[in-house]
Amino acid sequence: MALETEAAMGVVAPRKKLHGRAFYESIGSPKYMLAPMVDQSEFAWRMLSRSFMPESERKTILAYTPMFHARLYHETQKYRDQHFQATRPGDAEKKPWLDGNPEIDRPLFVQFCANDPQHLLKAAKMVAPYCDAVDLNLGCPQGIAKKGHYGSFLQEDQELIFKLINILHENLDIPVTAKIRILETKEATLKYAKNVLAAGASILTVHGRRREQKGHLTGVADWEMIRFLRDNLPAETVLFANGNILEHGDIERCLEATGADGVMSAEGNLSNPGIFAPDPPVGFEGPEFWRGKDGKGGWRVDAVFRRYLDILYRYVRNEEPPVRKPLFVPGMDRGWLEEGSSPVFEEKKYEGSAKRKAGTELNPNYSALQGHMFHMLRHFVTRHHDVRNALAKARSQDIEQFEVICQMVERKVAEGILEYERTDGKSVDDPEGDEKLREKIESGVETSAGAILQCRRPWWVVQPIIRPLPSEAMAKGAIQPNKKEKKRMAEEQGQRNGDGPKKVKENGDATEEKAELAQATNALKKERKKKERKKKEKRNCVPGRIRTDVFRLL
């Protein structure tokens, strides 16, 4: 009877704790990993990502929660309620609801960031009944992680990393896993990985980028480094690879190149939640999947938008979605396009206690909605600014507003497909742009042009966002070289001019290129100081604010 009650509550009955490959096999040996993403790998998005797989294969996707802050999680009830909803608030019976529900949201790993072993253990014990493992974030490269001393900014303190993992390994009823980034050398990365495994991690996920590779400096992940770990770690080590997954075909390429057991996708999944599912066979696409005359295709943005909203209706709001007209495909009646007017988005203003609509309190599944739509519709909104503006004004908790935006998207997709058919595909052709991309590829320089040509689809199809390589971003002025990079560039320029590295070093300002670089850098510094001075003046002029510098003089 006790076991039946526990099962009804979604709590897994105590069982022998498995480790390493035995544990991995016990959850079905999944090879697709939906990455932990701050405020973006919430329940509804996990459900959406799984929905593209056949029902029998949905457990081949191992999903991670967003990264949670361990101390805040175990100390603050409000933080727990807003980030992890395993049961309904106020439900005395504690029946499974969303996060970690054994019927629909497994396998699931809960990820924490932490720098205190006791805080981590207390938080992990609170989620252990509702997940398959607890993962330690050792990869976050953002400034907030540096300020809070967690994520990748722990990698210099290997002793603390060992303690964080080991305390869970020794005291938690479920396994502990970890996600790291590579270091400067293969040897250092291997030593790091061995420390994580020795501490008790059952699974090691390796992001093939270093800590500084973020934003415009993201660049390409190093699969060779992950292969080096695969070849030099014990054969029983369960290894997941992360990085460079732009489309479904990259998954098998990554598995082959790295020898990893599974592949994790983050940004690729945000652009295309169906990335883990292969394209349907030709002739079996259905209305949700569009295939062009060149054979390339993808999931339609209006179809994915609908799926996402349907999940919010059914699971979060516990109600059926509204009845909608079928997705438009060529050959269907187009009277609604020719006669009807386009849906009009109306911005709503909320005041006081009415700011949040009854029954739709802000929770992770609503708060993430707007960000997800901007990411998934990135290529769409660059063309359709009215949809972009509507998304910007929409309230995440107001699903009815997003229903209107979905209708706007559906109409534009229908118009785009009709124009494509009318022009025999020429409406999306860009011969001049394609030629420029091919010229870049043929020039032999490192470029993202090949990825753009390979992955590009019409704007009504979900597709990856291709970041420019660091060298391309630097050439456009999006990033500025640091001192080390400036020195290297000057030496290379000197070698091209017939001067050796030594001469360039001795005559650092002799070349015109270096002089121009120095001039640009100085101008940038002056502009930055000017902006900082204006900000300071503005702060000091705020009414009611005490001028502490003047106060000290008095």
Catalytic amino acids?
A: 140
Residue 330: count of CB within 10 angstroms of its CB: 11
d(CA 482, CA 488): 10
What are the residues whose beta carbons fall under 8 Å from the beta carbon of 521, sequence distance 6 or more? Answer: 480, 486
What are the residues whose beta carbons fall under 8 Å from the beta carbon of 342, sequence distance 6 or more? Answer: 408, 411
Alpha-carbon 1 to chain mean position: 42
Tokens coding 489: 């560039």
Return the beta strands (E) in 156-303 as ranges. Answer: 176-181, 203-207, 238-242, 262-265, 289-291, 297-299
Alpha-carbon 131 to chain mean position: 21
CA distances from 58 to 43, 107, 263, 432 (A): 14, 10, 15, 42
The answer to whether the beta carbons of residues 298 and 457 sit under 8 Å apart is: yes
Q: What does 63-78 look like in DSSP terms, one character per residue?
A: EEEEEEEHHHHHH-HH
Tokens coding 115: 């720098």
What are the residues whose beta carbons fall under 8 Å from the beta carbon of 331, sequence distance 6 or more? Answer: none
d(CA 488, CA 130): 52
Please, is 181 exposed, middle or buried when counting C-beta atoms within 10 Å of its C-beta (0-12, 13-18, 19+)?
Answer: buried
Tokens coding 372: 């997800």
d(CA 275, CA 299): 10
330 preceded by a cis bond (ω within 30 of 0): no
d(CA 473, CA 466): 12
**Which of 17, 275, 37, 248 has the alpha carbon at shortest distance from 133?**
17
Return the beta strands (E) in 35-99 as ranges. Answer: 61-69
The answer to whether the beta carbons of residues 36 and 269 sit under 8 Å apart is: no
Sequence letter at residue 249? G
Length of the chain measured in residues: 554
Strands 262-265 and 32-34 turn out to be parallel
- State the distance between the two ends of the chain, measured CA to CA, in whole angstroms: 76
The answer to whether the beta carbons of residues 51 and 307 sit under 8 Å apart is: yes
Residue 145: count of CB within 10 angstroms of its CB: 21
Q: Reduced to 3 states, what is the DSSP secondary structure of residue 110?
A: strand
